[in-house]
Amino acid sequence: MRRIWKLAGIASVVAAAAGLTGAPAAQQSGSPPSNAPPAATATTPQPPPAPPAASAAPAPPAPSAPPSLPFSDGKVADGATKAAVCAACHGPNGNSVNPEWPRLAGQSAAYVAEQLRLFRSGVRDNPTMKPLAATLKDQDIDDLAVYYEAQTPTGLEADPSYWQAGEAVYLSGDRAREVPACVACHGPVGRGNLAAGYPALRAQQSVYVVKQLNDYASGARYAGANAPAGDPNAMMMLTIAKRLTPEEMRDVASYVQGMR
Ligand code: HEC
Ligand code: HEC
């Protein structure tokens, strides 16, 4: 859970930058978050100032060792084996062919692991994924997460009627209605921000994308009164999705489905 809180810390900074929290912007709004690993300083409590060195007494060990890389214990090869059961729905190498089942190929490992934990705890309330996630141990989650991040999404096509309007939403948002540009967090080619756990959207099934935007807006994606407050990452999308019209959801979903 500690890791999730760290990611959440980053998310709040970006949300503030994007003007989603009403807090003063911490950086130029619209500038994409960097791909740097989560800054340890943002949430790691600093050790108290060292007391004046007392003669020969050895210094106590520093309480905050630098955090290890996320999923350094995940193994792609083990994930490939464990993903056999997932392939029935998520497709070979995570390239689902069913429009209602999300693609996982190239998805951020941090995001996949977070979502699997949320399914497992029932906070992301989905009758299909909950029983599957309930069987996963932490090691399984890490292996599956690094496996899917290592896969290549294969292209889907955007619906020619909608993608241009969708591109405008994706790249520019709508300042007048405080709809932020999706590109700020999901990136210019929809790769997301892997390290921060902002999901990739490129080549995602548009039907799935529309369902998620509606689920964020209605509150159906996360169950329980505490869920949004407990996950500031999700909180940002609740706010954004509520500001989108059904047409904008359709258009932007079509656009991301065609992104490579
Ligand atoms: C019976 C079909 C099925 C199987 C098998 C299945 N999933 Fe899923 N999975 C789904 C559906 C449907 C969703 C979308 C749920 C929703 O609409 O919120 C989903 C969502 C997900 C998500 C969230 C994706 C996102 O972009 O937020 C992850 C991660 C995931 N599944 C991983 C797995 C893993 C790992 C396995 C194997 C252990 C697995 N799934 C097996 C149907 C399945
Ligand atoms: C301030 C950063 C930010 C902006 C701007 C943003 N998103 Fe997101 N988005 C996120 C984060 C973080 C998540 C993961 C939330 C969670 O944990 O549920 C997410 C999740 C999503 C998902 C669910 C992905 C999945 O695989 O289930 C969709 C779809 C999505 N965003 C679409 C959009 C669209 C469309 C826009 C522009 C109108 C947008 N986002 C703007 C940060 C952002």
Look over the chain and give the mean of its residue pLDDT values, rounded to a whole number. 79
Least confident of 36-45, 108-117, 219-228: 36-45
Q: Residue 229: pLDDT band by 50, 70, 90 thresholds?
A: low
**Which atom number of ligand 2 is nearest to the Cα of residue 173?**
38
CA of 259 to the centre of ligand 2 (A): 15
3-state secondary structure string across the chain: CHHHHHHHHHHHHHHHHCCCCCCCCCCCCCCCCCCCCCCHHHHCCCCCCCCCCCCCCCCCCCCCCCCCCCCCCCCHHHHHHHCCCCHHHHCHHHCCCCCCCCCCCCCCHHHHHHHHHHHHHCCECCCCHHHHHHCCCHHHHHHHHHHHHCCCCCCCCCCCCCHHHHHHHHHHCEHHHCECCCHHHHCCCCCCECCCCECCCCCCCHHHHHHHHHHHHHCCCECCCCHHHHCHHHHHHHHHHHCCCHHHHHHHHHHHHCCC
More confident residue, 223 or 150: 150
More confident residue, 61 or 146: 146
Residue 70's pLDDT band (cuts 50, 70, 90):
low
Spans of all domains in the chain: 2-14+68-257
- pLDDT category of residue 234 using cuts at 50, 70 and 90: confident
| Ligand 2 binding residues, C-beta < 6 A | 11, 14-15, 18, 20, 102, 169, 179-180, 182, 184-186, 198-199, 201, 209, 212-213, 231, 233-234, 236-237, 240, 252
Between the CA of 249 and the centroid of ligand 2 the distance, in Å, is: 12
Q: Which CATH superfamily is domain 2-14+68-257 in?
A: Cytochrome c-like domain (1.10.760.10)
